[in-house]
A and B are shown apart, each in its own frame.
Chain A
């Protein structure tokens, strides 16, 4: 059993303590916006926020996540108001296949929390998610659009 707080809501999940947070989120909490890509914290498709910090949920056990505020892509918007990153993503038409974009958006949201006006170098350092479609150009442009708003 694990007691998790996901998107502000309490979840009591029937999982072993070493279950990766990713799978507890997807299979036990039923929130499938967070994606499985590699399982070894390389690709970033499973990025969520733990107490506001972007983390790769495939590499964190549920026991490590207990007591922390977990935010997934489904919890990024405030009610019906999309997060500014989601709005920018829609305006700039960033996603291609979209599979990596939940993780990409979560990573960018965390970066902008920390640095509201990131430089290209900040982006290069903080955004290390793999996108096989190659949306990097739109990702960068969308971040700068948000920063200059």
Chain B
């Protein structure tokens, strides 16, 4: 049984750079993107130790820089390395290097960031080269020992064979010698047609511990002498902590200390978290809520609606022809306004981090989607230099984009800094987690379509009004003020390109940034853009008196990959054959994260407002499928996440605060509401797309379009709970 080695918490046991290397081989490699050259020791010899460690017993440890949060890329990345390494897959384990080790070695493991469905697609080239490099060195070591040319040797399943003589040895036996060799300057990767492991739905490497309770998540970290902290940050974003009366809780059981955390938060440190949380709830706190306390969902909606007015300034994200003129002179026009609310990530594991600060060292244990960003946060909050800090990544109880932010890491260090020498585990209550999210941005969209006399779509004006994530989180990525990511799914080109050709097109964004902090929420801007565009495409088809699938197809002649996935779901769901009695269908497609996806749903509606989803078909073209079993799970999971948001989600604002503070008001789909998702893989090869997020874009519009087919009523606002529409 393959068993992922859980990231261990004993620091000494987790020094992989030396201990593991001493037992075998670790091979460095050139990073192809301007990173350091082959990492070399002080004497100039090639340092060993980046992607692959081979132990004498033939166990292969594959280093994984990206974070596993359920999406399966830990296993997928290991498959990529193992494919080129030609090792025995049953003897593969994985290990996380720390960001501190990586920085100390000039970022030998590259980017740690695990978001944007990038885990596989943006590291596939260099991790495969890491595997190939190790294979070449291992074969060379065997050839040297046998005094034969390496070209006469081949490797398979961790066994090296000298073909002419039939002699064999194993990776474990030549690892020490291989480690002394200079890595080859260049290695040739396999032709995809020769892949044996890539493309196979092998089981995940981290499953066993997740079934026995042994897997360690951030919330489970234990350190000797550790205390626990509960925190409250000002519930109005932008507000401040004015005062608190710690005398009132000083005698409560287990309480050790009450600390200010920056300008905005207060934390109680106690022996147990339950004591800390109980005392925090009893602590009198006075907030300076500030002007944002006047903001409500209504005031935000009004402000965004003003941005739909063409007279207001807007950034143009995609354009051809003259949409406004074509619309003005058109035979027929269709116009509609849609909206999408704030959404909380609601990871099952609330935010948490454990920090140990001393005068000359600061270390943090946490689940993070971005080890290097967490590391930077530790440096900043501790005030210590890089060589005195590190972050130890543990399993994430869900990420969905939330754990790419480092607010909770920073807080843990700020608390620990006030209690030097004592490890502090900071855990947010679910209520704190819901109130201090980094929310899916809020937007509205006015779309106008225009037809000529023959019902051909001649113009489309897509006017988005609302929040920019980059404005808040990565202002350096704005382009003359414009947020290019706002156009995900409706962009002219690139990894989230619009899939329709319309002779006159105008896609624009009136940026309006309310005070509620936005974040990268699984699918990000693809979510609302796909809902708006795909539901409106359905509206246009009906206005033209055409079948929604046929109407789309006519606009997709120049977008064969978009069309292929749409055709794949149409065929699988039987679009051209009648649905069962009382069952109605909806369809949608989008491109995001470099992949092409489409979805189709079959639903029935009773009493006009009770929806039963009977069947979902979803197709994906990510170029290459590394692990089809995991892709299927990502596709199905995207439907659960997307439909939960559609039916039950939506975070509202009152008095400047988020109103939904737990799963009783921010519900999530259960097993009884979710049908089987029939995933169709249509990998066309030649490119690498992501799979964790794109499908979420088609989940809601497929169901909403089916709802229209069933009822003749168009739903243009999310969530459905606001409109008394529920699961049957």
Contacts and interface: CB of A to CB of B under 8 A. Distances in A.
A77 B397 CA distance: 23
Interface residues of B, number: 61
Interface stretch (B57-65, B81-89, B660-668): B660-668
B662 A38 contact: yes
Given A35-B219, A99-B398, A101-B210, A93 B203 contact: yes
A30 B214 CA distance: 12
Given A27-B273, A39-B430, A99-B397, A34 B213 contact: yes
Contacts of A40: 430, 662-664
B573 interface: no
B207 A131 contact: no
A95 B253 CA distance: 38
Given A93-B207, A128-B670, A32 B397 contact: no
Interface stretch (B168-176, B326-334, B575-583, B632-640): B632-640
Contact of A133 (B222, B272, B274, B398): B398
Interface string A88-128: 01100111111111100100000000000000000111011
B70 A74 contact: no
Contacts of A136: 636, 640, 669-671, 674
B127 interface: no
A47 to B, nearest CB: 12
A76 to B, nearest CB: 8
Interface string B194-209: 0000000001101111
B668 A89 contact: no
A96 to B, nearest CB: 3
B629 interface: yes
B64 to A, nearest CB: 15
Interface stretch (B15-23, B155-163, B347-355, B595-603): B347-355
Interface string B298-327: 000000000000000000000000000000
A4 interface: no
Contacts of B429: 39
Nearest to A121: B672
Interface string A120-149: 000111011111111111111000000000
Contact of A134 (B272, B427, B640): B640
Contacts of B636: 134, 136-137
B204 A93 contact: yes
Contact of B213 (A27, A31, A38): A31
A42 B663 contact: yes
Contacts of A129: 670-671
A97 B207 contact: no
In this complex, the interface size class of chain A, counting residues with CB under 8 Å from chain B, is: 35 or more
A82 interface: yes
Interface string A2-31: 000000000000001001100100011011
Contact of B397 (A16, A28, A35): A35
Contacts of B486: none
Contacts, number: 177
A82 B211 CA distance: 9
Contacts of B204: 93, 95
Given A99-B349, A132-B346, A77 B662 contact: no
A72 interface: yes
A70 interface: no
A134 B637 contact: yes
Contacts of A36: 219, 350, 427
B245 interface: no
A28 B213 CA distance: 16
A129 B215 CA distance: 19
Given A95-B211, A135-B633, A35 B349 contact: yes
A41 to B, nearest CB: 10
A45 interface: yes
A36 to B, nearest CB: 7
B397 A124 contact: no
A138 B670 contact: no
Contacts of B670: 127-130, 136
Nearest to B431: A39
B203 A97 contact: no
B533 interface: no
B137 to A, nearest CB: 33
Interface of A: 16, 19-20, 23, 27-28, 30-40, 42-43, 45, 72-74, 76-77, 82, 86, 89-90, 93-102, 105, 123-125, 127-140
29 contacts: A35-B217, A38-B662, A38-B663, A42-B662, A42-B664, A43-B348, A74-B213, A77-B212, A89-B207, A89-B210, A95-B210, A96-B633, A97-B349, A97-B395, A97-B398, A97-B399, A99-B347, A102-B213, A127-B671, A127-B672, A128-B670, A129-B670, A130-B663, A130-B670, A132-B668, A134-B633, A134-B636, A135-B637, A140-B676
Closest 7 CB pairs of A and B: A33-B213, A134-B640, A97-B70, A99-B397, A98-B210, A96-B70, A134-B637
